[in-house]
Amino acid sequence: MDNYVKTPHLIEEKSFEIITEELGEKTFPEEIGKIVKRVIHTTADFEYADITIISDGAIEAAKEAVKKGYNIVTDTNMAKSGINKRILKSFGGEVRCFIADEDVAVRAKEEKTTRAMAAMNKAIEDETNKIFVIGNAPTALFKLKEHMEAGRVKPALIIGVPVGFVGAAESKEELEKLDVPYITIRGRKGGSTVAAAIMNAILYMI
């Protein structure tokens, strides 16, 4: 019981070494690799090496957006919890999640939609909310797309990785058609931990 690794920094370093080794000949450009490996680190699922999609220039755009002090909006408090706020704060940004707000619950009930959609409606009312990190709700991603097409919001980055069996894959297919810097996971997989891992990988690059 005394011979397990107790130093957090070493645990992470060793984990990334193992991941790199097991990826074998599957290599990536440096910054893309950092994102893919952090997702695998978070899930222990190597399938993410094949289904993580990063649009051209998205990493550069993401770093710029953070440096400009834009806020991050997440669809769940889980994703919010998982994002490293210290680095973001040093540039003036913060992580916001409106899903549990009382006015959002009221609006969702009135409009007979998901709270995730009502939360997105609230998010776009403040134009410093420019980075969207969606790990759970396809409806949040669909709603964001509607707002973009209507010219109501112009995100600096969308990390769109809803997980699940109803609408998740479809919402991400739609994301890939949009003219916006994005990072996504093809198919059903994804989730709040994956969303946070991607955002953190970008924050740690800065």
Q: Which of 15, 20, 41, 46 is catalytic?
A: 41
CB of 18 to a second copy, least distance (A): 4
- Name the one range near a second copy by CB under 8 A: 53-61, 87-95, 175-183, 188-196: 188-196
Identify which range of 26-34, 39-47, 152-160, 198-206 contacts a second copy by CB under 8 A. Answer: 39-47
CB of 168 to a second copy, least distance (A): 7
* Cβ closest to a second copy, residue 61 vs residue 123: 123
The residue among 29 and 112 lying less far from a second copy, judged by its C-beta, is 112
Interface pattern 165-184 for a second copy (x via CB under 8 A): xxxx-xx-------------
The question of whether 147 is a catalytic residue gets the answer no
Give the residue with the Cβ less far from a second copy, 15 or 205. 15
Residue 190 within binding range of a second copy, rule CB under 8 A: yes
The dihedrals phi and psi of 20, each to the nearest 5 degrees, come to -60, -45
DSSP per-residue string spanning the chain:
---S---HHHHHHHHHHHHHHHHTT----HHHHHHHHHHHHHH--TTHHHHEEE-TTHHHHHHHHHHTTPEEEESSHHHHHHS-HHHHHHTT--EEE-TT-HHHHHHHHHHTS-HHHHHHHHHTTSTTEEEEEESS-HHHHHHHHHHHHTTS---SEEEE---SSSSHHHHHHHHHHSSS-EEEE-SS---HHHHHHHHHHHHHH-
Residues interacting with a second copy, by CB under 8 A? Answer: 1, 4-8, 11, 14-15, 18-19, 41-45, 76-78, 80-82, 112-115, 117, 138-139, 142, 145-146, 163-168, 170-171, 187-193, 196
